[in-house]
Structure 1
Amino acid sequence: MSNRQEALGDGAIIESKADMIGLFERGEKPRSAWRIGTEHEKFVFRLADHGQPSWEEPNGIRDLLMAFGRYGWEPVFEDGKVIAATGADGSLSLEPAGQFELSGAMLENLHQTCAETGRHREQCLAIGAELGLGFLGLGFNPVARREDLPVMPKGRYTIMRQHMPRVGSLGLDMMLRTCTVQTNLDYGSEADMVKKFRVSLALQPLGTALFANSPFSEGRPNGFLSYRSHIWTDTDPARTGMLPFVFDEGFGYERYADYALDVPMYFAYRDGKYVDAAGLSFRDFLAGKLSVRPGERATYGDWKDHLSTAFPEVRMKGYLEMRGSDSGPQSRICALPALWVGLLYDGTALDAAWDLVKGWSIKGQQRMRDEVPRLALKATAPDGKSLQTLAKEVLAIAAGGLDRRARENGIGDSEAGFLAPLWEIAESGKTLAERYLDLFHGEWGGKIDPVWDAARF
C-alpha cells in the first residue's frame, strides 16, 4: 500500500457528488502526458536464519529504511517512528509485516521504469549486505506462520488487523504474508477510462496467470500456483473482486463513485492520527453523521483516503491500477507494465484487446478468475480457449502496441523486449510457480530452504 500523501485542497469539505467525481475528471491527461507507475513489494528476511525482522530490532526494518538516506531518500515519520521514505524514484513504504515496497515515479517509458527498478535493487542489495538482510520475490511468504510475523507501527494497519477477521478468513494473510507488483496508468477521457477499465479488468486473470508465483505456504506446496490471488477471494467481499458493473451500459465516473461510497470505511485521518471507523458508512461521513466524528463532514482528502481502501482487481484513483499479479524477480517487474502499456496506451492495440473480450459473459469472466489461482495458464477463458492460447494472442497485441509507441532506448531497443519473460511462459505453458514446484519435488528433495536463494530479489 502506497504512502498517504496530502495535497493542496485536501481539507476542503465535499459539498456534492460532483466534488467526488471531480477527482476522476482531473485525472484526465492528453496522450503526451500519459505516464507509467510501477509498484512492487518483496519480503525482507534475515540472511542468518531466514526470519522476518521486526521494525525495532537492530538491523531491522527501521534501520533498513533509515539506511536509504545515503541515496537521498527522506524519511517519513508517524508518531515519531520512521514508516516510509520519499525520493526521486518515488516512495518506499512498509506493508503490515514489513514487506518492503517501492512505489515508483510516474515515468515516460519502460526503459526508465526498468532502470528505476534496477537502481532500487542495487540499493537494496548494498544495504542488505551491511545489515544482514535479503529480499525475496514471491507472492506469498513461503514459510512463516501468520502468528509469528512482526507488525509494523502504522496506525491504519492496526485498524485493518482488527477489522479483517470480521469480514473474511484470509484478510490477515493478505496483509501479513503477500507481496504484489502493480502498474498505474493514465486515461485521456471518461470514454477512454471506460474502455481501458473494461479491457484490463477482463484480462486481469490472465495477468494473474502469467505472473503466478506463490505456490508455497509454511514450507510446503499449498495446492495453488497463485495463492496470493486466492486469498483475495476471502478477504472482504465488500471491497474486492471483479466489479461486473464495469461492463454495464452507462458505466463511468459516477458509477465508480457510487461503488466506492458503498465500500465500508476503515478510518478517518485527523490531527496526525488514524481514527477507527471500520465498517461505518462514508455516506454518513458526508452528511456529518459519522459516529466516531459526530458533526464533522468528509473532506476531499478523506475521499482520497477512502478510495485507497477499496481493493478490486482494477482500481481507479484518478488513474487506473492493475492489481492482479504476484511479485517476482526484476525481469517480471519490468514485464508487468510492458504488458499493460502495450495493451492500453496504443489505440490499435486497445481496440484489438477489446475485440478479444467484448463478447465475454460476466459469468465466464468470474469462472476464469476462480480457476486461475490453481490452474494459471491451464484455466479456460470465457470463449473456451485455454489461457495459454489467450496469452499468446494478448502478448502479440501488446508487442505491436509497444512497437508502435516507438519508445526506444539509446541503442534502438523497443519496449517490446520487456515482454520476453512472458513470452517464455506463454510458449512453455509453465509459470514460475510451476518451475519452483518442479524444483521442490526434484532437485530440492522436498525441502523449502533452497527457495531463499532461488527467489532472491
Structure 2
Amino acid sequence: MTTKTVTDSHAAVIESRSQLIDSFARGEKPRERWRIGTEHEKFVYAKSDLHAPSYDEPGGIRDLLTGLTEFGWQPVEEAGKIIALTGPDGAISLEPAGQFELSGAPLDNLHETCAEAARHLEQVKAVGDRLGLGFLGLGMWPDKTRADLPVMPKGRYAIMLRHMPRVGDLGLDMMLRTCTIQVNLDYASEADMVKKFRVGLALQPLATALFANSPFTEKKPNGYLSYRSHIWSDTDPARTGMLPFVFEAGFGYERYADYMLDVPMYFVYRDGRYIDAAGLSFRDFLKGELAALPGEKPTLDDWNDHLSTAFPEVRLKTFLEMRGADGGPWGRICALPAFWVGLLYDAGALDAAWDVVKHWTMEEREALRNAVPKLALDAPIAGGGILRDIAGEVLDIAAAGLSARGRLNSSGDNESGFLEPLREIVRTGKVPAQTLLDQYRGSWDEDVCRLYRETRF
C-alpha cells in the first residue's frame, strides 16, 4: 500500500474525465528513462516472546522508525505521530499491523536494486538488534490470529478496517496478516503499456507460484502454498482480480480510467485528516455530488489516492505494478524484479513472453489464477500440462531479456544471475512453501515457531 505524504493538497481541481485519462499518459517515458522500483514487506516480531509489537510500546514500531533516522531517513508524521520515513533509498512505510515496507527508489538496474535491499535490511537489523526485534520474510504470519495483531495509527487504515468485512471475508487478513514483494515498471506509450499489462496479468500466476511462501495459518498448514494469494480471492471483488477487460480490443488508458471510476472509494484526504467515503462513487465526486464532501470536486491528488485503493493482480498508475508474489528472503527480493524486468524491458523478450500466453482464453487465465494458490507449479495450464512445464521457458526468456539489456556490475556480470533462486525452484519442482512444509513435518517436529529461528532475515 502507498504511504500518503501528509501535506495539504494543492493539486488542480479535476474539471473533466479527460484529465483522469491524461494522468496515465504522463507516466510515459522513453526507454532510456525506464527505471525499476521494488517494494518489499517484512513481519516484525519481538525476539523475547515472538509477539508482534505495537506502535507505542517500548521497543515497538515507533522506536524502530525513530531508530532508522540515524541512517539519514527523514520522518513523515500524521496527527503528530511518525508513520513513515523518506530518504535516498525511497520510502519506509507501515502496513496496517506494523508490517515494515521499503518502497525503493526508481533505479536503473538490478545490481542497484539488490544493493538497496541489502542496505535496508542491514539498517533495520541494526536497529532491531538494539530493540530486541527480528524480521521475517513470508507471505503470511505463520502463527498469529487477527486478535494477536496491533493496528498502526494511520487514518486510512481505520476506514479500511471498518469497510473490509462489508465486502469480503478475508480482507482483514489481507491487511493484518500478509506481506508481499512488488515491482514497479515503466512504459513508453499506451500501446507499450497495454502489451506489458497483458503479459503481466497472464504470467502473474507463474510469479505467484514461484514465490509461494504462505502455507501456515495459526501454527498449522492451511492447505495452500500461497494462502496470501488465496486471500485476494475473497477480499473485495470490486477492486481485485485478473481484469478481463485488459485483454479486450481497444483496451487502453480510457478503459482503465473507467474501471477505476467504478471502483468504490475508501477516503478523501483533507486538512490533515482522512474523511470516510467508503463505498461511495468517484463518478459522483467528479460531479460535485459526493455525500461525504457535498459540493466539492476532486483534485488530481484525490485521483492518485484513489488509484492506490484498487488491488488487481497488475495495477496501473503512472507505472505498472506487478503484485502477485509472497514476501520472502533477500534473494527473492532481488529475483522478482529480475523476472519482470527480463520479460518486460526488452522488446524481443516481451514478444516471446506474449507468444507463450496469447492463445489462453480468459476462462483459462482465471482457472490458472484460481488453481495456483493451492497447487503452485502443479496447476494445470491451457492446452494440457502444468505450470512447471512453461516455467523454465519463461525464465529463459527473462534471462535473454536481461542479457540483452547489458547492465553489468563491476565484475562484468549482467543481471541474469538474479534469476538463480527461481531456476533452483524449477529444477527441484519445489516452491518455497513446499520446502517449509517439508521442514515442518520433518526436523521442526510440527513446531511452526521454528520459522523464527531458521528463516528470519
Q: Amino acid of the residue matched to residue 426 of structure 1?
A: V
Q: Where does residue 405 of structure 2 map in the other structure?
A: 405
1:72 corresponds to 2:63: no
Q: Where does residue 128 of structure 1 map in the other structure?
A: 128
Following the alignment from structure 1 to structure 2, what is the Cα–Cα distance between the partners of residues 51 and 134?
10
1:205-259 deviation line (CA, Å, top 9, x unaligned): 0000000000011011110000000000000000000000000000000000000
Q: Amino acid of the residue matched to residue 175 of structure 1?
A: M
Following the alignment from structure 1 to structure 2, what is the Cα–Cα distance between the partners of residues 240 and 397?
28
- Does the residue aligned with 1:449 lie in a helix, a strand or coil? helix
Following the alignment from structure 1 to structure 2, what is the Cα–Cα distance between the partners of residues 455 and 209?
19
Q: Where does residue 348 of structure 1 map in the other structure?
A: 348
1:332-411 counterparts in 2 under 5 A? 332-411=332-411
- Does the residue aligned with 2:138 lie in a helix, a strand or coil? coil
Q: Which moved more, 1:386-395 or 1:111-120?
A: 386-395
Following the alignment from structure 2 to structure 1, what is the Cα–Cα distance between the partners of residues 94 and 362?
35
Following the alignment from structure 1 to structure 2, what is the Cα–Cα distance between the partners of residues 386 and 104?
34
Asked if 1 retains the 8 angstrom alpha-carbon contact of 2:36 and 2:337, the reply is yes
Q: Where does residue 194 of structure 1 map in the other structure?
A: 194
Q: Amino acid of the residue matched to residue 54 of structure 1?
A: S
Q: Amino acid of the residue matched to residue 364 of structure 2?
A: G
Deviation at residue 171 of structure 1 after TM alignment:
0.3
1:426-445 counterparts in 2 under 5 A? 426-445=426-445
1:279 corresponds to 2:248: no
Deviation at residue 23 of structure 1 after TM alignment:
1.1
Asked if 1 retains the 8 angstrom alpha-carbon contact of 2:6 and 2:76, the reply is no
Q: Where does residue 230 of structure 2 map in the other structure?
A: 230
Deviation at residue 334 of structure 1 after TM alignment:
0.1
Q: Where does residue 18 of structure 1 map in the other structure?
A: 18
Deviation at residue 10 of structure 1 after TM alignment:
5.2
Identity between Structure 1 and Structure 2 (%): 65
Deviation at residue 2 of structure 1 after TM alignment:
2.2
Paired residues, what number? 457
1:225-374 counterparts in 2 under 5 A? 225-374=225-374
Q: Amino acid of the residue matched to residue 20 of structure 2?
A: M
Deviation at residue 360 of structure 1 after TM alignment:
0.5
Distance 1:8 1:445, change over 3 A: closer
Q: Where does residue 112 of structure 1 map in the other structure?
A: 112
Distance 1:357 1:8, change over 3 A: farther
Deviation at residue 124 of structure 1 after TM alignment:
1.1
Deviation at residue 50 of structure 1 after TM alignment:
0.6
Gaps of 5+ in 1: none
Q: Amino acid of the residue matched to residue 353 of structure 1?
A: A
Q: Amino acid of the residue matched to residue 247 of structure 2?
A: F
Q: Where does residue 449 of structure 1 map in the other structure?
A: 449
Asked if 2 retains the 8 angstrom alpha-carbon contact of 1:328 and 1:455, the reply is no
- Does the residue aligned with 1:12 lie in a helix, a strand or coil? coil
Asked if 1 retains the 8 angstrom alpha-carbon contact of 2:8 and 2:271, the reply is no
1:374-412 deviation line (CA, Å, top 9, x unaligned): 000000122323111111010000000000000010001
Q: Where does residue 184 of structure 2 map in the other structure?
A: 184
- TM-score w.r.t. the length of structure 1 is 0.99
Asked if 1 retains the 8 angstrom alpha-carbon contact of 2:208 and 2:325, the reply is yes
Q: Amino acid of the residue matched to residue 64 of structure 2?
A: L
Q: Amino acid of the residue matched to residue 22 of structure 2?
A: G
Deviation at residue 16 of structure 1 after TM alignment:
1.1
Asked if 1 retains the 8 angstrom alpha-carbon contact of 2:138 and 2:214, the reply is yes
Gaps of 5+ in 2: none
Q: Amino acid of the residue matched to residue 119 of structure 1?
A: R
Deviation at residue 8 of structure 1 after TM alignment:
11
- TM-score w.r.t. the length of structure 2 is 0.99
Q: Amino acid of the residue matched to residue 74 of structure 2?
A: E
Deviation at residue 17 of structure 1 after TM alignment:
1.4
Deviation at residue 5 of structure 1 after TM alignment:
4.0
Q: Which moved more, 1:190-199 or 1:11-20?
A: 11-20
- Does the residue aligned with 1:450 lie in a helix, a strand or coil? helix
Following the alignment from structure 2 to structure 1, what is the Cα–Cα distance between the partners of residues 282 and 42?
32
Following the alignment from structure 2 to structure 1, what is the Cα–Cα distance between the partners of residues 275 and 125?
37
Distance 1:242 1:369, change over 3 A: same
1:2-41 counterparts in 2 under 5 A? 2-5=2-5, 11-41=11-41
Q: Which aligned runs of 4 or more in structure 1 are off by greater than 3 angstroms?
A: 5-10
